[in-house]
Amino acid sequence: ADILPLGPLPRLIGHRGAARHAPENTLAGIRMAAAQGAKWVEVDVKLTADLVPVLLHDDTLDRTTDGKGPAKDLELGAMRRLDAGSWFSPAFRGERVPTLVEVIQLVLALDLGINLEIKPCPGREEETAGVALTLAYSLWPDDRPPPLVSSFADASLDMARQVVPRWPLGYLIDRRPANWRQRVEQLNVSTINVNARREDAASIREYKTTGRPVLAYTVNTVPVAREVLGWGVSSVFTDTPSGLAEIAG
Ligand code: G3P
Ligand code: MG
């Protein structure tokens, strides 16, 4: 099958919004990324106890909110009462854990592209992709390039391929699995999303033999960005779009 098309890939993608400058995975973070000139943002999606897709990176609430314990045990109402900004800076006090609905509305309003990283709590790989992408698909306008959907979780990507058969997938990896070529073909992904720290010019060339662009996380300095782009990487995920503005192109 043909590789499903993506919208034009920008050289910089705001990581978790603009994680150096605003609390990660919040509406303020997405606005910050846009204000810094990012054309796309990457966010992490998981489910509340009552199966509402929200943005949160960790399995637990402790690091990025004033709550405690597993995110999967809290219903939306309780999660919405948490403060997801003060841990980062008092300037962001009152920032909430955003719902995926709010995030989609905001990126559409700001005309941003988005990479939805499905980040399931353990054991919820399939339902996280199923619920989040059914919702995202229902909200996404036909006349805009669709989100790029990625996940480290095999079961989430398999489910994504079923739920949004026409949306581009990103094969997201840390250490390269032995069966990576097989997965790239089987899922018919549109991109390969790698950890910049684990790669080099030769490994990037190998990925590119599949005909897919390679995206690399997380790159926060201009020299590293230049090196990684020099290997043939198309885009870097960065916590600091403003810090990398000179390579935005
Ligand atoms: O999707 C790229 C990157 O966000 C993957 O790692 O842990 O920051 O979600 P992580
Ligand atoms: Mg992520």
Q: What is the mean pLDDT of residues 181-208?
A: 98
In the residue annotation, 57 being an active-site residue is answered as: yes
Listed residue (159, 198, 236) closest to 206, CA to CA: 198
In a domain, 4, yes or no: no
Q: What is the mean pLDDT of residues 115-137?
A: 98
5 pLDDT band, cuts 50/70/90, is: confident
Of the candidates 6, 14, 15, 84, the residue annotated as catalytic is: 15
- Per-residue pLDDT tens digits for 71-103: 999 999 999 999 999 999 999 999 999 999 999
In the residue annotation, 21 being an active-site residue is answered as: no
Please give the number of the atom of ligand 1 that sits closest to the Cα of 170.
1
Which of 56, 59, 217 has most ligand 1 atoms within 8 Å of CB, for mutation? Answer: 217
Of the candidates 57, 80, 181, 208, the residue annotated as catalytic is: 57
- Per-residue pLDDT tens digits for 26-68: 999 999 999 999 999 999 999 999 999 999 999 999 999 999 9
Do 54 and 126 contact (CB within 8 A), yes or no? no
* Tokens read off for 14: 């705001």
* 3-state secondary structure labels for all residues of the chain: CCCCCCCCCCCEEEECCCCCCCCCCCHHHHHHHHHCCCCEEEEEEEECCCCCEEECCCCECCCCCCCCCEHHHCCHHHHHCCCCCCCCCHHHCCCCCCEHHHHHHHHHHHCCEEEEEECCCCCCHHHHHHHHHHHHHHHCCCCCCCCEEEECCHHHHHHHHHHCCCCCEEEECCCCCCCHHHHHHHCCCCEEEEEHHHCCHHHHHHHHCCCCCEEEECCCCHHHHHHHHHCCCCEEEECCCCCCHHHCC
ipTM of the complex: 0.99
In a domain, 187, yes or no: yes
Q: What is the pLDDT of residue 104?
A: 98
In a domain, 33, yes or no: yes
Q: What is the pLDDT of residue 221?
A: 98
In a domain, 3, yes or no: no
Listed residue (72, 73, 77, 139) closest to 103, CA to CA: 139
Q: Which domain holds residue 237?
A: 12-247
6 pLDDT band, cuts 50/70/90, is: very high
| Ligand nearest to the CA of residue 235, numbered in listed order | 1
Do 174 and 164 contact (CB within 8 A), yes or no? no
Q: Which residues contact 191 (CB under 8 A, 6 or more apart)?
A: 6, 9, 148, 150, 168, 169, 170, 171, 212, 213, 214, 215, 234
Model confidence at 168: pLDDT above 80: yes
Domain count for the chain: 1
Model confidence at 172: pLDDT above 90: yes
The average confidence (pLDDT) of the chain is 97
* Tokens read off for 109: 């309003």
User: Which chain residues have CB less than 5 Å from ligand 2, an ion?
Assistant: 44, 117
7 pLDDT band, cuts 50/70/90, is: confident
Phi, psi dihedral angles at 47 (to 5 degrees): -110, 145
Whole-angstrom distance, CA of residue 75 vs CA of residue 152: 25
Cα 233 to ligand 2 centre (Å) = 18
Please give the number of the atom of ligand 1 that sits closest to the Cα of 215.
2
Please give the number of the atom of ligand 1 that sits closest to the Cα of 44.
9
Which of 156, 199, 218 has most ligand 1 atoms within 8 Å of CB, for mutation? Answer: 218
The protein residue with its alpha carbon nearest to ligand 1, atom 7, reads 57
Model confidence at 249: pLDDT above 90: no
CATH number of the domain enclosing 169: 3.20.20.190
In a domain, 2, yes or no: no
Which of 9, 13, 44, 150 has most ligand 1 atoms within 8 Å of CB, for mutation? Answer: 44
Model confidence at 1: pLDDT above 80: no
Q: What is the mean pLDDT of residues 215-219?
A: 98
In a domain, 7, yes or no: no
Model confidence at 20: pLDDT above 80: yes
Cα 216 to ligand 2 centre (Å) = 11
Cα 16 to ligand 2 centre (Å) = 6
In a domain, 131, yes or no: yes
Phi, psi dihedral angles at 192 (to 5 degrees): -120, 120
Q: What is the mean pLDDT of residues 105-111?
A: 98
Q: What is the pLDDT of residue 130?
A: 98
